[in-house]
Amino acid sequence: WAQKDYKLWLQYDKITNSKIRSEYTTSITGIVGLGNSETSKIAVKELELGLNSMLEKKLEVKSKLEGQNTLVVGAQSALNPELQKVVASDITQINEEGFVIKSVTVNNAKHIVITGKNDVGVLYGVYSFLRRIQTNKSIKNLEITESPKINLRILNHWDNLDRTIERGYAGFSLWNWQKLPDFIDQRYIDYARANASIGINGTVLTNVNANALILTPQYLEKVEALANVFRPYGIKVYLTARFSAPVEIGGLKTADPKDTAVANWWKDKAKKIYKIIPDFGGFLVKANSEGQPGPQNYGRNHVDGANMLADAVAPFGGVIMWRAFVYSEHDANDRAKQAYAEFQPYDGKFRDNVIVQVKNGAIDFQPREPFHPLFGAMQKTPIMMEFQITQEYLGFSTHLVYLPQLFKEVLDSDTYQKGKGSTVAKVVDGSLYNAKFTGIAGVSNIGNDLNWTGHPFAQANWYGFGRLAWNPYLDSETIADEWLKCTFSNDENFIKPVKEMMIKSRETVVNYMTPLGLHHIMDTGHHYGPGPWVANLSRPEWNPVYYHKADKNGIGFDRSKTGTNATSQYTPEIEKLFDNVATCPEKDLLWFHHVSWDYKLKNGQTLWNGLSLKYQEGVDQVKEMQNIWNKTEKYVDGERFKEVQMLLEIQYKEAKWWRDACLLYFQQYSGKELPAGVEKPT
């Protein structure tokens, strides 16, 4: 029954608009597939699959150009001399992974050419072309040149070797370690295909809280099998490296990065990996964070650790993604300040093949966080973005939240590091400081659930991450539009309201969970549901009370100069903006300031009333989502319609739970009545 769900955004439903369909059928009468690689075969097969299904027509596939109105597919070097000539100048505009889609006339015959410098570019071009058709766009006079703007576009799977997934809400891990390497689940191929269709070119198979066993020969041959499946789809495999692996699986007494035996152990390990996986991507490392081992255990620092590993993979072209997600109980004054304090001074000290991976905000994937101050603050060190696609703090796979809204808010934020217009996107795509290489990671929300992501709409977050990794300047509305059309229907009566519902969904969740800059008040450990009252955990910065600091005088975390001075980690322009309670954006107010319950908000409400009304607004907005969805039955298959309907019902119940729990809890400090318009908790 879940077939529709399983097919993600590659439904390839028949084009129902006959006018548009006839434009397609007249412009495409056959396919000319050039090239012999696995990748080029996949590209042609995908075109056949997609076009035959959408146009309801069996297209002939030839290996030589003849006739007219054909779709010619192949890398530049595989094209005939006439075609090479007509695309020559377009080709100069793309990079190694880019593509050209062009309407051409050769020998008086019209054709459409999909080409690139390499086969993987052609494959991306094919998916882009199919998306045009899926979204009913014209294919007349095409002149498209596109290249990904970021080098490493990577999913981070927090998957354990026993197939549980840290913060995973869509079943167990796809990687069936027990049956690998000889059993290749069709799911691996479908996974690769879905990722290639949105331009993702890397996957970290294992949890950042790493298990050293993955680096033993027994597991590496399984990793090799997966790498072989993913390679033709342009996807490289990466692993997480547990810093203490030389001790745990190597029999050494230490993992000190300055110890020659340790460095040699890693060099040897890298050599062995590259022998079986020549295009292995490299390692992702979480070190000295949340109890994970790292160089600091031996009196060394992040640079020592990262550079030692970088030297091991450098001869083979590998990279080290070293995470900046660090905080410690020893300096619990303000957790938000620690990553910047620990990393910024190391700018310029890392090897050329190290990239520092920074979460979008300074705490931890909250429904809303101001951008991380490290973005733009290290001019000589490549910095990559880490977003979380899985909804650890946003209602798991139960609540509908369209995350590209959140991703875009961060990418569009102006750091002012090189004056106005120095957006986070320009840091991430490397254009601000001309970075040596660039990257973006998304913590995956994929599991072995029939629909991959638990919630049918969570597929949009995987899709949207991929699209923004390809081009961080795309707008989230366009992405929602594409996704809806490819996944459900092109009918405007469906698209318009449902798109609006998606766009609003992120603010909706902020409203009923953490309005006005509140954060980390989820119940402890699992992070599902409200828990602002939790105060008894051993480390202060794990307790929600540490973050909201509600008392009789007011609520919020003073990170301005009168408080922890975290604002000083931003450029003077931003510091000034955040520091002053009057100019601080209200959406971040309680992130940066402790304000009184009577503080006047811009709309004239007192803080207490405004906060209460925000919680109510969130609840009302979920009701509105339900109303919208209930009218879509005729556009959607029964299964997905019902699933989303049931999930929205839970979301509504839980939005009320959030509102009631938070308001009743905070009320004991404010000592005030709920304002008119806010429902009384039952």
Rounded to 5 degrees, what are φ and ψ at 453?
A: -125, 10
- Of the candidate residues 13, 23, 48, 166, the single one contacting ligand GCU (CB under 6 A): 166
Name the residue nearer to ligand GCU (CB basis): 364 or 449. Answer: 364
- Nearest CA-CA partner of 101 in 57, 20, 47, 53: 47
Is residue 167 at the binding interface for ligand GCU, with CB under 6 A as the rule?
yes
In whole angstroms, give the CA distance from residue 671 to residue 465: 43
Q: Which is nearer to ligand GCU, 286 or 594 (CB)?
A: 286
Q: Kindly identify the residues of this chain, within the stretch 184-213, that bind ligand GCU according to CB under 6 A.
A: 208-209
In the DSSP assignment, the letter for residue 453 is: S
Among the listed residues 96, 290, 551, 598, the single catalytic one is 290
Nearer to ligand GCU, 292 or 560 (CB): 292
Question: In the complex, what is the shortest distance from the CB of residue 365 to ligand GCU, in angstroms, rounded to a whole number?
Answer: 7
Report CA Rg, the chain.
Answer: 26
Beta carbon nearer to ligand GCU, 386 or 620: 386
The residue from 46, 90, 364, 588 that contacts ligand GCU (CB under 6 A) is 364
Binding-residue pattern over the window 557 to 576 for ligand GCU, x denoting contact by CB under 6 A: --------------------
| Cβ proximity to ligand GCU, 85 vs 539, nearer residue | 539
Q: Segment 206-265, which members bind ligand GCU (CB under 6 A)?
A: 208-209
Is residue 523 part of the contact set for ligand GCU (CB under 6 A)? no
With residue 33 as reference, give the H or E element that holds it.
strand 30-33
Strand pairing report for 143-146 and 99-106: antiparallel
Tokens of 330: 């020893």
Q: Are 502 and 574 in contact (CB under 8 A)?
A: no
Closer residue to ligand GCU (CB): 311 or 523: 523
DSSP collapsed to 3 states, 385-398: EEEECCCCCCCCCC
Is 80 one of the binding residues for ligand GCU (CB under 6 A)? Answer: no
User: Residue 550 carries which side chain, given as an amino acid letter?
Assistant: A
With CB under 6 A as the contact rule, the residue among 169, 233, 243, 325 that binds ligand GCU is 325
Q: Which of 364, 409, 579, 588 is catalytic?
A: 364
Which C-beta is closer to ligand GCU: that of 325 or that of 570? 325
Please give the Cα distance from 20 to 333 (Å, whole number).
Answer: 61
Q: How far is the CB of 209 from ligand GCU (least distance, A)?
A: 5
Q: Is the Cβ of residue 520 or residue 548 nearer to ligand GCU in the bound state? A: 520
| Shortest reach from residue 334's CB to ligand GCU, in Å | 17
Eight-state DSSP code of residue 8: T
For the window 272-291, what string marks contact with ligand GCU as x by the rule CB under 6 A? Answer: --------------x---x-
User: Torsion angle of alpha carbons 592, 596, 601, 606, nearest 10°?
Assistant: 150
Choosing from 90, 386, 392, 575, the catalytic residue is 392
Question: Closest Cα to residue 621, out of 495, 513, 481?
Answer: 513
Min dist. Cβ of residue 386 to ligand GCU (A): 8
Give the separation between CA 368 and CA 601, rounded to whole angstroms. Answer: 19
Q: Residue-wise over 17-43: b if at least 16 C-beta within 10 A, else e? A: eeebbebbbebbebbbbbbebebbebb
392 is a catalytic site residue = yes
Residue identified by tokens 């680096």 is 215
* Shortest distance in whole angstroms from residue 663 CB to ligand GCU: 26
- Which structure tokens are listed for 571? 């450029």
Asked if 120 interacts with ligand GCU (CB under 6 A), we say: no
Residue 441 beta carbon to ligand GCU: minimum distance, rounded to whole angstroms: 11
From the CB of 166, what's the least distance to ligand GCU, in Å? 5
Q: CA–CA separation, 154 vs 101, rounded Å?
A: 25
Residue bearing tokens 């690689």: 37
| Least distance to ligand GCU, CB of residue 207, Å | 7
Q: List binders of ligand GCU among 388-407 (CB under 6 A).
A: 392
DSSP H or E run through 113: strand 109-115
List the structure tokens of 423: 């957006």
Residue count, binding to ligand GCU (CB under 6 A): 9
Residue 500 annotated to the active site: no
Query: Is residue 440 within 8 Å of 153, Cβ to Cβ?
Result: yes
Which residues have a catalytic role annotated? 290, 364, 392
Residues forming the site for ligand GCU (CB under 6 A): 166-167, 208-209, 286, 290, 325, 364, 392
